[in-house]
A and B are shown apart, each in its own frame.
Chain A
Amino acid sequence: MTTPAREQQVRLLVRRGIMPSEAERIVDKAEGGLEPLAIIEEQSAEFQAQRAVMWWQYQGAVKHRFKRLLGAREHAKA
């Protein structure tokens, strides 16, 4: 099978409803070939790790705020 020309692929994507600038970006990004599953899995693991870090940061912020509130209450009592 011959590889279709770049312009031809961009035109087809635009005909399918994709914005011209986005179609160009897609075709350029695809020049490196198929993204292997291993790379996507690696990106996915990295993403999940980032989410976990954000979750713990959020928990830490909540705990800190809670402590401050408790401290303020104790201070008010005293």
Chain B
Amino acid sequence: MAGGGRYRHVLADGRLGKMVSVKDLAAQSQKLADDLSDRLADLAQDAVEGTITPAVFQQAMKSELRNAYNANAALGKGGVNQMTAVEWGRNGGILQSEYQHLAKFAQQIADGEITVAQARARAKLYGGKAYSRYTDEDARRKRASGQYTQERWGPTVGDDAVCIDCDALAARGWVPIGALGTTPGAGDTQCLGNCRCPPLSFR
């Protein structure tokens, strides 16, 4: 693997064991994002039902998103120690934009314009974006390494959640590096990042 981004299992006696597979890393990042999506949906429901105020919902969402974005980006980059001002800054920029969407979302909850189902569905979208921080940093690291010439999307998980855009990107097969222009979970596809496509493959 180029430019770091690999991890080792730590054995019970503290010694380093086998390398963690890329598949396991992606699965772990997806699990983090799925858990986050469920938590955010519960928080949105709490806010609509009035068990927390919209202001508490807004602050709780900001806190959860910041932690999840930072954790996923660090996972993609190869660990917290590998994170430089560039990656932290990129996270900050994306978060600022998410906070703007969130402010509108919280205001709509405060105004009673959203149902529980709508709030849950909307809150879950933020989880997909958190997953994209892993896939994006992973792809950036590999593109910058100069060791690869082609990239590929997918294969998709193949269920109903996969949108037409993800299917189309996966159908393109191997393309020159950078040609896809986006990464899974980034929200550039019709599913808005909820497809759970695996990170890009490189060769």
* Cross-chain pair count, CB within 8 angstroms: 82
Q: Tell me the bound Cα distance from A36 to B99 in angstroms.
A: 10
Query: Are A34 and B93 in touch, CB under 8 angstroms?
Result: no
Cβ–Cβ < 8 Å partners of A8 in chain B: 51
Minimum distance in angstroms from B116 CB to a CB of chain A: 14
Task: Give the interface size class of chain B.
Answer: 20 to 34
Whether a CB of chain B sits under 8 angstroms from the CB of A76 is no
When the two chains form their complex, are residues B60 and A26 in contact, meaning their CB atoms are under 8 A apart? Answer: yes
B96 with A43: CB separation less than 8 A: yes
Complexed CA–CA distance, A3 and B59 (Å): 16
Residues of chain B touching chain A, judged by Cβ–Cβ distance below 8 Å, are 39, 42-43, 46, 50-56, 58-60, 63-64, 85, 89, 92-93, 96-97, 99-100, 103-104, 106-107, 110
Beyond contacts A4-B51, A9-B53, A35-B58: 18 other A-B pairs, Cβ-Cβ < 8 A, are: A4-B50, A12-B51, A16-B39, A17-B39, A18-B63, A22-B63, A26-B59, A26-B63, A27-B56, A30-B55, A30-B58, A33-B55, A34-B58, A34-B107, A36-B103, A37-B104, A37-B107, A47-B92
